[in-house]
Amino acid sequence: GAVVSQHPSRVICKSGTSVKIECRSLDFQATTMFWYRQFPKQSLMLMATSNEGSKATYEQGVEKDKFLINHASLTLSTLTVTSAHPEDSSFYICSARGGNGEKLFFGSGTQLSVL
Amino acid sequence: GQQLNQSPQSMFIQEGEDVSMNCTSSSIFNTWLWYKQEPGEGPVLLIALYKAGELTSNGRLTAQFGITRKDSFLNISASIPSDVGIYFCAGQGANNLFFGTGTRLTVIP
């Protein structure tokens, strides 16, 4: 089956630093990728949708200058949390949808802890 | 973002019992999906429903896409300890996927 690889799985950083999370579709071309954030014991909340080669569409309340998304190729999207603060600590999950548009495959998530 | 209402929030059941959870939305969705998430992992797709009224099974799991396209339920029959986890429904619109609030399932051996 289709595989989405997300890296790193865990990152601990100091407040004020930037963190980049990668999401790769390993055996299919992902025309659309989604980024979610999940706080402990809560549901996944969609942050943004990115289409290859175009600007990401952010959900209301998500700061586009803080959460930079790049989807430069059909197999890679990155989320950069700029100037991270403790309140940004969360579980970030990406998902990718292939050309047929029917199924969504999820990465294994990145646990971000900002000290 | 939009969120779907899922109930119950948590369940504690004995091994062998059947489980039922449901999901409702104020919006219509073209596709309903059910996922299971284990700690520290991304969600894994269990069942996908593409048509209103559709009833689909995957082993001990059965899910239905409501006629109004605003709700869905998931049943798990004869639960086993490895069924523990958090189950999420998700509604897929034109280009977005929105998740339910989750049901945390604990199976007591």
All residues of chain B having their beta carbon less than 8 Å from the beta carbon of residue A41 are 104
> Taking CB atoms and an 8 Å limit, are A43 and B99 in contact across chains?
yes
Question: By C-alpha distance, which of A10, A6, A2 is closest to A107?
Answer: A6
The shortest CB-CB distance from B42 to any of A45, A59, A108 is to A108
- ω before B81 within 30° of 0 (cis)? no
The shortest CB-CB distance from B98 to any of A46, A47, A109 is to A46
Residue range B68-81, pLDDT digits in tens? 999 999 999 999 99
- How confident is the model at residue B41, as a pLDDT? 86
- B31 SS3 class: strand
- How confident is the model at residue B93, as a pLDDT? 72
The shortest CB-CB distance from B95 to any of A32, A103, A105 is to A32
Three-state helix/strand/coil letters over A16-59: CCCEEEEEEECCCCEEEEEEEEECCCCCEEEEEEEECCCCCEEC
Element (H, E) at A85: none
Q: How far apart are CA B92 and CA B86, in angstroms?
A: 19
- How confident is the model at residue A30, as a pLDDT? 86
- A87 SS3 class: helix
Model confidence at B102, pLDDT cuts 50, 70, 90, reads: very high
Has residue A42 got a pLDDT over 90? no
> Taking CB atoms and an 8 Å limit, are B101 and A43 in contact across chains?
yes
Mutation target vs A (from B9, B38, B45, B51; most A CBs, 10 A cutoff): B45
Q: How far apart are CA B44 and CA B42, in angstroms?
A: 7
All residues of chain A having their beta carbon less than 8 Å from the beta carbon of residue B98 are 46
Residue range A43-90, pLDDT digits in tens? 889 899 998 888 899 999 999 999 999 988 889 999 999 999 999 999
Q: Is the dihedral of CA A56, A62, A68, A74 positive or negative?
A: negative
- How confident is the model at residue A110, as a pLDDT? 94
Please name the residue of chain A whose CA is at the shortest distance from the CA of residue B4. Answer: A43
What is the average pLDDT score of chain B? 92
Residue A64 gets the label, from left (phi > 0), alpha (psi -120 to 50) or beta, of alpha
What is the average pLDDT score of chain A? 90
E strands of B1-109, at which residues? 5-7, 10-14, 19-24, 31-37, 44-49, 55-58, 61-65, 71-76, 85-92, 97-99, 103-108
Residue range B31-40, pLDDT digits in tens? 899 999 998 8
- How confident is the model at residue A100, as a pLDDT? 64
Rg value, chain A, Cα: 13
